[in-house]
Amino acid sequence: MNLRPSVSVIMPTYNGEKNILEQLDSIRQQTYPVEEVIILDDRSTDNTVSMVKEYIKKYNLTNWQVEENKKNLGWRLNFFCLLNKASGDIVFPSDQDDIWYLDKINKMVDFFLSHSTANVLVSNYDELIEFGGVSYPCSQRVIEKVTQEGRIPFTLKNIYLNRPGWVYAVRKSFLKEVKIFFDFGVVPVHDSAMWSVGVLTDSLFILREPTGQWRKHGQSAMRTEKKDETKKGLFGIRIRKLERLKEITISSIHYLEHSSASIPQKKDRAQILHKLIREYEIRSSIMEKRKIYLVFTNISKYTSLHPILADLWFLIKNK
């Protein structure tokens, strides 16, 4: 990597006219030079595309480009398409409605320069909660055993992402590993892919300070999915959550099987992941049958105390 690495910012858009200009401002005004900004619209039905084009023209942003998908891909696939398009040494995913602090890129690039083994970097964030929005303070949840230099190690808890995708940055040279996760994953998501592959290769790090505001409102794609899930009832929601965790775990196993990268304790980590899959299958079965005693009869199949207590609490509370 050059002494002054080039930076790409990628942004998928869909019906984002309400908040997108504020986010574009926060990217344009970054204190670190941005080599390219690639915006890929997923067939918006509002004025998102025309607003972005007018913005680019207004500020003469010759290194910015906006493209439109020929068909709607959905936000997951749209992000992966953008990762493949980026050419900068370091790639920054961006949502269409958050606000970056103006030194975000500068601080995260500096971190990469001082931590040569970091391939994926996440940060903390502040929340901007609007009407209809719900706080999601994952930055307050403890990440286990983070090293003094900021590396997030492989543990049962750290396998699963603990930060939203817009606080990530990834080395372009590492995207080939993320692509393996995507190619062989089960319903892969860009932030989950980067987090999982980073943890598995001991190259996921955290910058322990906020780099922007996560706008929380009732119109995001993730929020819409969660509303749909509430129709399934409390037990249905919990079973679906366990299924998602199982999907991420299976995807991690597939990554280990297909990657040629040097992965520490590869066999041991694969065994742990297989145990987690069996645990999720048992837990889903218990939730379907809604029987408290089944937790105790299957207690040896749990991997730690926390899920045992969590299942007992949920079953007792919703008896």
Domain-wise residue ranges, the chain: 7-218, 224-317
Whether the pLDDT of residue 227 is over 60: the answer is no
Residue 45 or 222, more confident: 45
Whether the model clears a pTM of 0.85, i.e. scores above it, the answer is: yes
If you average pLDDT over residues 159-170, what whole number do you get?
95
Looking at residue 68, the DSSP 8-state letter turns out to be E
Q: How far apart are CA 164 and CA 203, in angstroms?
A: 18
Q: Are strands 169-171 and 120-129 parallel, antiparallel or unpaired?
A: antiparallel
What's the count of helices (H) and strands (E) in the chain, helices before strands? 11, 8
pLDDT in tens, 196-212: 999 999 999 999 999 99
| 7-218 maps to CATH 3.90.550.10 | yes
Choice among 24-38, 69-83, 187-201, 221-235 with the minimum mean pLDDT: 221-235
Q: How far apart are CA 91 and CA 176, in angstroms?
A: 13
Whether the pLDDT of residue 222 is over 90: the answer is no
Query: How high is the pLDDT of residue 77?
Result: 87
C-alpha dist (Å) from residue 95 to 50, 89, 101, 187: 18, 20, 14, 19
Whether the pLDDT of residue 158 is over 70: the answer is yes
Q: How far apart are CA 303 and CA 299, in angstroms?
A: 9
pLDDT in tens, 267-289: 999 999 999 999 999 999 999 99
Q: Is 138 helix (H, G, I), strand (E, B) or coil?
A: helix
Query: How high is the pLDDT of residue 217?
Result: 76
Whether the pLDDT of residue 311 is over 80: the answer is yes
Choice among 31-40, 147-156, 218-227, 232-241 with the minimum mean pLDDT: 218-227
Whether the pLDDT of residue 226 is over 90: the answer is no
